[in-house]
Structures are given as C-alpha cells and as structure tokens.
Structure 1
Amino acid sequence: MSHVVSLHDLPPALRGLLNRVVREGGEVLVTDGERTVARVVAAERRPGLDAGRLRVSGDFDAPLPRDVLDGFEA
C-alpha cells in the first residue's frame, strides 16, 4: 500500500535530504538503532522530462584545443 505525501508537508530537514537524493542520486536510509526500516531513492526520471531546458552547442563534438588535450595526456 502506498501513501502519498507532498514534499511541502514534510519537515525542512527531511525536504533537504530528499532534494539532495533527487539532485545527486544515492539514497537515504532511515534506521531504528541498527535496523534499517526504510530506504528512500529518487523516483525514476522519464525521458523528455527536461525537454527544452538543455542546450547543446553545435560544435560540442569538435576536437579539443591542443592545450586542453595536453592536460589529459600529461
């Protein structure tokens, strides 16, 4: 059985943890002593969710300048 709770109804500390999971990935483990009682992970992202929010330069796959390449090959 699932329960739905708005993020805005949660205490600020919990909202911060959940926002971090969404941004950075990973998980939040909720424990009771040494026993894990819950594991919170970000919901799966749907393709196209960020459509129109990202821009890729027309030359994104152009060769890198020599000085940048030298930094990788040093």
Structure 2
Amino acid sequence: MGKLVNLYEAKTQLSALVDEAAAGSEIIIAKAGKPLAKLVAFRGTVRRKPGRAKGLVWISDDFDAPLPPDLQAAFNGDVE
C-alpha cells in the first residue's frame, strides 16, 4: 500500500502529491481513515501497430454467407 493521506491534506498539498505520484509513488487518499481514491502516475497508451496479428487469425471464406433456414429460424425464435 502506498502513502495514505487524508482528503484535506490532499487538497492542500495536491501539487506535491502529484509530483510524488509522477516519480512512481502511489498515493492513497482517504476520508475518515477510509481509502477513497488512488493517485498514480499516468501511463501513456501504447499505440497498436497495424498488421501485428496478420496470419494469426483465420476467417472462413463463407463467414458472411446466409445461415441455413433452420438455424435462422432458431435465432428468430421460430422453433417449435
């Protein structure tokens, strides 16, 4: 568990706490001793590389072909 600070301290020392979080610390903000929130450093999103899964996924040639009538009926709730 990281550093525990009360809500009032978090409001008055926010800039310093953000600096601590940016440096890698985990700050837990509590009210009446009960943890409410966690302040951590922002981790930028990793950009996905197009084509990375090429060759790993196989889709049947008839993937988008109509379903057989009996299966269509089952999906539509027309089954007896």
TM-score, with structure 1 as normaliser: 0.44
TM-score (norm 2): 0.42
Structure number with higher relative contact order (C-alpha < 8 Å, ≥ 6 residues apart): 2
